[in-house]
């Protein structure tokens, strides 16, 4: 296996800033959705949507990393990100069937 220099370029930083904003806003939107759901008389589906948003945030983050690695032809890291995404989705799919 060949040695790879640590990439720390402007593109990497831009993606990290993008992820930082996404996670930050996603957290506050999720909090707002849950709060609205709790305040409504029959707001349980809204709370469920807020919880679903929180769970989706890190999964989307792995998706963003996968696309970024693939775009830069960093195939080794793209494969790692794809495998992580597959494991998460497998955990959900297997329990969806079990449920």
Partner 1 sequence: MTPQFGVYLFAMSVVASAMGGTLGMAGGIFVVPMLTASGVGIRTAVGASIVSVIACSCGSASPFLRRRLTNTRLAIVLELATTLGALSGVFLADRLPTSALYVLFAGILLLSAQQMMARRKAPSDAGAVAGADADAGADAGGWGATFGLHASYPDPATGVEIPYTVHRVPLAMTLMYGAGLVSALLGIGSGVLKIPAMDTALRLPLKVSSATSNFMIGVTAAASAGAYFVRGDIVPAIAGPVVLGSVVGAILGARILVAVSSARIRVAFVVVLVLLAAQMSLQGFGVHLFGGHA
- Residues at the site binding partner 1, with contacts judged by CB under 8 A: 1-8, 12-13, 16-17, 19-21, 23-24, 26-28, 30-31, 34-35, 37-38, 44, 47-48, 50-52, 54-59, 61-62, 65, 76-77, 80-81, 83-84, 87-88, 90-92, 94-96, 98-99
- The residues, any chain, with a CB within 8 Å of residue 65's CB and separated by 6 or more, are 15, 19, 77, 81
Report in angstroms how near the CB of residue 87 gets to partner 1 at its nearest. 4
Report in angstroms how near the CB of residue 13 gets to partner 1 at its nearest. 7
Instruction: Give the sign of the dihedral formed by CA 54, CA 58, CA 59, CA 63.
Output: positive
Report in angstroms how near the CB of residue 71 gets to partner 1 at its nearest. 15
């Amino acid at each position: 296996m060949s040695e790879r220099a640590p990439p720390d370029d402007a593109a990497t930083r831009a993606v990290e800033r993008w992820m930082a904003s996404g996670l930050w806003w996603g957290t506050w939107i999720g909090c707002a959705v849950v709060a609205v759901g709790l305040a409504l008389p029959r707001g349980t589906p809204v709370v469920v949507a807020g919880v679903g948003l929180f769970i989706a945030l890190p999964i989307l983050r792995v998706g963003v990393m996968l696309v970024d690695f693939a775009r830069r032809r960093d195939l080794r890291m793209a494969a790692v990100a794809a495998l992580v995404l597959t494991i998460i989705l497998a955990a959900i799919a297997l329990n969806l069937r079990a449920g």
